[in-house]
Amino acid sequence: MKPIRVGLLGIGTVGRGTWDVLQRNASEIRRRAGRPIRITMVADREVAHAKKITGGKVKVTADAMQVVCSPDVDIVVELIGGDRVARTLVMEAIRHGKHVVTANKALLAKHGNAIFSAAQKKGVMVAFEAAVAGGIPVIKALREGLSANRIEWIAGIINGTSNFILSEMRDKGLPFETVLAQAQQKGYAEADPTFDIEGIDAAHKLTIISAIAFGIPMQFEKAYTEGISKLTRKDIEYAEALGYRIKLLGITRRAKKGIELRVHPTLVPASRLIANVEGVMNAVLAKGDAVGATMYYGAGAGSQPTASAVVADLVDVTRLITADPEHRVPHLAFQPDQLSSTPILPMGEVQTSYYLRMRVVDRPGVLADITRILAAARISIGAMVQKEPAEGEAHVDIVLLTHQAIEKNVDTAIARIERLATVVGQVTRIRMEELL
Ligand code: HSE
């Protein structure tokens, strides 16, 4: 059979990996896909660099538009990132009847609804396994492997850079900036690393996962997003002393009134498998009503792990290319006219447990004032630790773990505690999940 012709947009970290994997495993891939898959055109701003990698075997251009319009390209692989130029190129590729494979989570989280609708009308596929958790086939697992289930919740470590930073800070006591620089050198971090450390990249991925799990449109703008930049070593140590680890989790859960969609540092019992996912590795826990809890683990970033997902999508698209568009796997798992309007819950309505740390004056009645405020807000205490004051210090840390409470009640209680004359500075709040 004639080879499938691929136009590659961007031959940076993941593009290079995609090129290498397709070359190295060409014969195996042909046996799986039923026909050869060949990159025939590459667009990259660094033309000389792209020519060097591809060794003069394919057409190289600086003009990505040439690739998306070319009659000699069947599938466009978008690996340039960002959501402006990439959106134009992907929409143009669809308009020209090309199938698209992308690793671009920001693009999909923000413009996925419009992209999938255009693709549906044109009868082309948009595949995006590489957009979430790098090499882990989590999209396929959720969309196809778990399609018998009513998904209850998903919790994931879906940003390798922040997990790498938290692991290195905890294990080696390295400062935040040193570890971030290492992640950048290794090619894990986003072009703008604030996307990693402020939870934005994780929220992009969570938006995609949530849509697939619950059959809802992408609603990135409604995701609650809090990163790791304000975490202190102190909180990491207190959490450990209480038997927990702090992880940046993306959590989406079906609740009574709607769907939770939140990214934030989270205390997880140290004995859970996910609490022991270290370094740049990613893990996604998904709980279905039939299967129970399942976990997917692997490299969430990096050249060849992400290329593994890109090439798997190329194989999928190649296999499905002749199938009737109405009967292909739907982009968001549910048929496009069956998406639900279940609302995303505002953060105030979320129900979870909390780690609260406050610095107080060490004298009688202080704790009583704090517990009175918590009781009035219907917040029950699960555990409490008061540290000895350091020599010569008048203030001590109190750490409380609460039972399940409603976020807006916790907001009220924190505001009242912070107004007490005996409490110094702000209360640190980290959410906790048992993940059972
Ligand atoms: N910056 C991302 C991460 C890369 O650190 O996980 C993969 O999306």
pLDDT digits (tens, 9 = 90+) for 185-235: 887 888 888 999 999 999 999 999 999 999 999 999 999 999 999 898 889
Active site positions, annotated:
205
Contact 18, 8 (CB under 8 A): yes
Q: Quick one: which atom of ligand 1 is closest to the CA of 103?
A: 8
pLDDT tens readout for residues 320-377? 988 888 889 999 999 999 999 999 999 999 999 999 999 999 888 999 999 999 999 9
Residues paired with residue 9 on neighbouring β-strands, in sequence order: 43, 78
Spatial neighbors of 288 by CB under 8 A, at least 6 apart, are 146, 148, 149, 150, 151, 152, 294
> According to the model, what pLDDT value does residue 169 have?
86
Q: Residue 104: pLDDT above 90?
A: yes
Kindly report the protein residue whose alpha carbon is nearest to atom 4 of ligand 1: 301
Distance 188 CA to ligand 1 centre (A): 5
Kindly report the protein residue whose alpha carbon is nearest to atom 8 of ligand 1: 301
Mean pLDDT of 124-147: 97
CB 133 less than 6 A from any atom of ligand 1: no
CB 201 less than 6 A from any atom of ligand 1: yes
Question: 331 phi and psi, to 5 degrees?
Answer: -50, -50
Closest CA to 301 of 191, 142, 140: 191
pLDDT tens readout for residues 25-39? 999 999 999 999 999
The alpha carbon of 15 is separated from its chain's Cα centroid by a whole number of angstroms, namely 20
> According to the model, what pLDDT value does residue 186 have?
82
Distance 273 CA to ligand 1 centre (A): 21
Could you give the CA distance from residue 64 to residue 202 in angstroms, rounded to a whole number? 28
> According to the model, what pLDDT value does residue 388 have?
78
Distance 75 CA to ligand 1 centre (A): 24
Contact 122, 100 (CB under 8 A): no
Could you give the CA distance from residue 80 to residue 426 in angstroms, rounded to a whole number? 41
CB 129 less than 6 A from any atom of ligand 1: no
Going by the DSSP 8-state scheme, the letter that residue 348 receives in this structure is G
Structural domains in the chain plus CATH codes: 4-137+303-338 (3.40.50.720), 138-299 (3.30.360.10), 350-432 (3.30.70.260)
Distance 302 CA to ligand 1 centre (A): 8
CB 159 less than 6 A from any atom of ligand 1: yes
Mean pLDDT of 136-151: 98
Could you give the CA distance from residue 183 to residue 50 in angstroms, rounded to a whole number? 24
Residue for token digits 């778990």?
A: 146
Going by the DSSP 8-state scheme, the letter that residue 377 receives in this structure is T
Closest CA to 153 of 221, 249, 226: 249
Mean pLDDT of 64-82: 97
CB 198 less than 6 A from any atom of ligand 1: no
Share the mean pLDDT of the chain. Answer: 95
The pTM assigned to this predicted structure is 0.94
